[in-house]
Chain A
Amino acid sequence: MKVLLIGSGGQLGWELCRTCPPSINFVPLDYPEIDLSDGMHVDRLVSEIQPDWVINAAAYTAVAKPNPSWKKPGPSMVQVLVRWHLPSPGYKASLFRSPLILFLMENTEVPTHPMPSVPPWESMAKQNERVSWRHWRRYRGGYCFSERPGSIRLTEQILSKQCCD
C-alpha cells in the first residue's frame, strides 16, 4: 500500500514518519518538494506517485501570530485543499482517486478575501465573509469543525473515499 504524506517536516509529519509500519510504501514530502499553493504542481506530483492514500499534515504554523500574508488576495492553504476536491475541470487531480486523510486544526481567522474563481466558490465568497461549515460539508460530506464567532476551529480529521466518482 502506497501512502503519500504531505507535510513530512511538521510535528505530526515527523511522528508519522517514525511510526510508519514497514509494510507501507511510504512517500513523505514537504515544502518545497510539494507546494500546496500550486494546485497544478500538486496534481502532477500526485499523478506521478499514484498513492493509495494521501495524508495531509501540512498546515500553517504559529496560528496565534498574525500573518500579514493572509490579508492578501490568493488561495489560502485551506482553500487549496478544498479546491482539490471540487469536481471542477481544472482540478481533476489524482487525489480524486485516493482516500484522503486531512487534518484541519486551524483555530484562527479564516481569510476573508475573495476566494479563487472556481465554481461555486465565487458565488460563495460574494455571499459570505467567512467560509462556513455548511459549505464544507456540501462538498465532501466529511468535513467537521465548529464555527465560533470570530474564528473557525477545525477539529476533525477526514477519511474520505468519496473522491473516486
Chain B
Amino acid sequence: MKEKDQLGVVDDQIGTPTWAHGLATTIWKGINRNLTGCYHWTDAGVASWYDFAVAIRDEGIACGLLKNALPVSPIPSSAYPTPAQRPSNSVLSKTSTWKDFDIQPVHWREQLRSMLQEMCTHA
C-alpha cells in the first residue's frame, strides 16, 4: 500500500482473515488438553478480500504505519485471474473448536489491530 496509488481488490470472495498468532495459541491449548480430532480454525467474522484491504488501510493509518488513505476499489474475481482458483466462500464453522478448546472468539479485525500494533511496537 505504501508503493501504490490505488488498489483494486476482489470483493466476491469471502472468508475470514486469520492471524497465525491466534492459531498458534490454539494449537498449544489443544496439546495441553490432549485434544484429538478435526477442528476448523479461523478468527471470527467474515470479510471479502476487499473488506480486508480497506481494514488494513484504515488500521494501518490509525496506528501510524500508513500515512495516506489509498483509494481501494472493489473488483470481481474475473478481473483478477490467478493460477490458483479461489473459492467464493471459505467461511468455516468454529463452533466445536470454541467449545472444546474453551476459546472466546475474537473478531478478525481485532486481531488485525493487535498485529499491526505489534508491528508498530517493534518497528
Contact = CB atoms under 8 A, between A and B. Distances in A.
Interface of A: 1, 3, 11-12, 14-16, 18-21, 24, 53, 55, 63-66, 99, 101, 107-109, 142-144, 146, 148-151, 153, 155-161
Nearest to B29: A21
B: contact size bracket: 20 to 34
Nearest to A155: B92
Contacts of B83: 64-66, 108-109
Contact of B90 (A18, A66, A142, A155): A155
B67 interface: no
A84 B44 CA distance: 33
Nearest to A162: B36
Contacts of B40: 155-156
Contact of B37 (A64, A109, A142): A142
Contacts of B25: 19
Contact of A161 (B28, B36, B38): B36
Contacts of A107: 84, 86-87, 90
B85 interface: yes
Nearest to B23: A12
A21 B85 contact: no
Nearest to B38: A144
Given A65-B83, A151-B84, A159 B37 contact: yes
A45 B28 CA distance: 22
B123 interface: no
Contacts of A14: 20
A22 B118 CA distance: 22
